[in-house]
Amino acid sequence: MAEGGRLAGRCAIVTGASSGIGAATARLLADEGAAVGLVARREAELRRVAAGLDRALVLPADVSDVGQVLGALDSAEAALGPVDIVVNCAGVIGPTPLAELTPELFDRTLAINLSGVFYLSREAGLRMRARHGGHIVTVASDLAATAMPGYVDYSASKAGLVGLTRGLAVELAPTVLVNAVAPGPVDTPMMDHELAADPDPQAAREATMRRVPLQRIAGPAEVARAILFLLTDASYTTGAVLALDGGVTALSRLSGDAT
């Protein structure tokens, strides 16, 4: 554990910790002194992330399964101590055209992206409130406020996540702070999966950059640093959604594409 880190003595759970934003966040929290429980379905990838961390616990679990989620929370607290930080990074994304978006696919997206966040945040949040302190951060998306073809289920889940974040913030105040970050395009394996669905993935990547006012795609570490800000320096912030989209939603609003 890093001595003197901003999160020294604290215990965190990070979902979706096997890659992308989740892995970057887990590494940063550990660098800042936190003990970290790593949650995802892919155990081998979790072990790879954990190998470089001090006081990291691998917790294979499907966040859409409430029993597995609560079991992971109990295991983390038994091994590492009371959890006072939860970062919900686990998620799935299409694209899936509406004609191919079956009820089963829609339900699966919401189960992972929204219900799974509720399961962990509700139980951990109630425990934090009983202990008089804690932080919860959710990872939403620019597509909570905008829309693109092929992302009906994803947009619905992330818009719901913004509402969930605000509801939890009000319920758990004043001792537990609950906020969200809303990234735009981020260079992760999940984004690679999205682009691979395009006939020309490189052209799709370039088109993605062109729609971002900052003209680039974010790195996972940039999102992790924003999450750390909410956990350390944003002491008068709860129920907020921090846009990390390079100006995508600002441009959409200016052009009348979003309200």
> What residues act catalytically?
154
DSSP letter, residue 11: E
Distances from the Cα of 243 to the Cα of 25, 117, 185, 237, angstroms: 17, 19, 12, 14
Distances from the Cα of 145 to the Cα of 55, 119, 259, angstroms: 37, 24, 8
Nearest in space to 91 (alpha carbons), one of 167, 157, 184: 157
Tell me if 57 sits within 8 A of 80, measured CB to CB: yes
CA distance 170 to 241: 14
Tokens of residue 207, six digits: 């088109």
Instruction: Give Rg (Cα) of the chain.
Output: 18
Tokens of residue 149, six digits: 């073809």
